[in-house]
Amino acid sequence: MKYDQLIIYYFSGTGNARNAAIWIEKIAKEKGLKTHLINIDRFKTVDVPELSEKTLIGFCSPTHGFNMPPIVLKFLFKFPKVKNADAFILNTRAGMKLYKFYLPGLSGVAQLLPALILRLKGFRIVGMQPLDLPSNWLLLHPGLKKKVVNSIYTRCNSIVNDFASKLLEGKRKYKALLSLPIDIALIPITLGYYFIGRFFLAKTLITTDACNNCEKCIIQCPVEAIKMINDRPFWTYNCESCMRCVNACPQRAIETTHAFSTALIIASSVIISPLLIAGLKYFGALDFVNQSVITENFWSIINAFIFLLFVFISYRILHFLMRYKFVNKIIAYTSLSKYKFWRRYKAPKHMINENNIK
């Protein structure tokens, strides 16, 4: 047997990556390996059990904005250097099913960047597996129907079992490299999401009057991004939009502010940014800056900065105004997530063995 120990670090917003990690652990246990399953929620330090030459280390995480979520990237950067240890990466993606066809998500650099970081840390990458579990991106679409979720789960379970068995036999599997050209083409969008998009999305969540301040969202947030301000949960820029809070809320009180967010994008791009930039130019506010620096890219960065500032201020005001019933009602009824057809998503638990999970 090539390995006698398996360590899996996982991050999971709504349970998909966690389930994949549990499936792999199950196969390893059946083969007699010692296993550690480590959840990296709110990690402060990177704890590494004693490694031997026969240790395999895995990293399981969802894909966020064609990349690994920032918490996972931070974790990987902090991981200590190793000497020739074997590692695998599994990224869960937005799987869908249309009629009888399973549709894949898109990885972007969710495999490439971690592989590079781990390589620089001294790891040998022996497995790179994307896994198209049900999409949980509730900001964009309702949760999938139970029947579809179960069907996608059954398919993915056998993919993971095959992947884990081959790795533990000492074989290498690089399924993730098949989409390399598409993943590289997505890099500009990945950068846009990382530097702008994710901060905007952090400000699209709000609680309505249905909230009873149970604080479950605050307690469960894996990155401690939700604060209680004036008796109402407030999403900070730390939020990774992992969707755990939206799904965990027992009152279904967390909504995505669809109409409000759309209005912000339009107001910023049509009124606020053009006016401010025209003002900056007219009053020569940037004359002290070396003119060779003021290129198209420079204005794009200023635009992004104005947008995020505008979003932040607007969100603060909205958060304050939500104490008024009529504002609360307007926001609730203009959020698609308020309506029954906008199902929440939580990964099924019935297909996994819940023993010994941290």
Ligand X SMILES: Cc1cc2nc3c(=O)[nH]c(=O)nc-3n(C[C@H](O)[C@H](O)[C@H](O)COP(=O)(O)O)c2cc1C
**Minimum separation from the CB atom of position 190 to ligand X (A):** 8
Contact 57, 21 (CB under 8 A): no
| Closer residue to ligand X in complex, CB, 55/335 | 335
**Minimum separation from the CB atom of position 349 to ligand X (A):** 12
Distances (CA, A) of 267 to 80, 112, 328: 46, 36, 21
**Minimum separation from the CB atom of position 18 to ligand X (A):** 6
Say if strands 55-62 and 86-92 run parallel, antiparallel, or are unpaired.
parallel
Distance in angstroms (rounded) separating the CA atoms of residues 27 and 32: 9
**Minimum separation from the CB atom of position 160 to ligand X (A):** 12
| Closer residue to ligand X in complex, CB, 241/273 | 241
| Closer residue to ligand X in complex, CB, 18/319 | 18
| Closer residue to ligand X in complex, CB, 64/319 | 64
Q: How many CB atoms lie within 10 A of CB 138?
A: 22
Which residue, judged by CB position, is nearest to ligand X in the bound state?
A: 105
Residues in the chain: 358
| Closer residue to ligand X in complex, CB, 164/246 | 246
**Minimum separation from the CB atom of position 139 to ligand X (A):** 7
Sign for the CA dihedral angle at 320, 322, 325, 326 comes to positive
| Closer residue to ligand X in complex, CB, 13/58 | 13
**Minimum separation from the CB atom of position 321 to ligand X (A):** 26
| Closer residue to ligand X in complex, CB, 55/67 | 67
Q: Which residues lie near ligand X (CB under 6 A)? A: 12-18, 62-66, 92-94, 105-106, 108, 133, 135-137, 241-243, 347
**Minimum separation from the CB atom of position 220 to ligand X (A):** 13
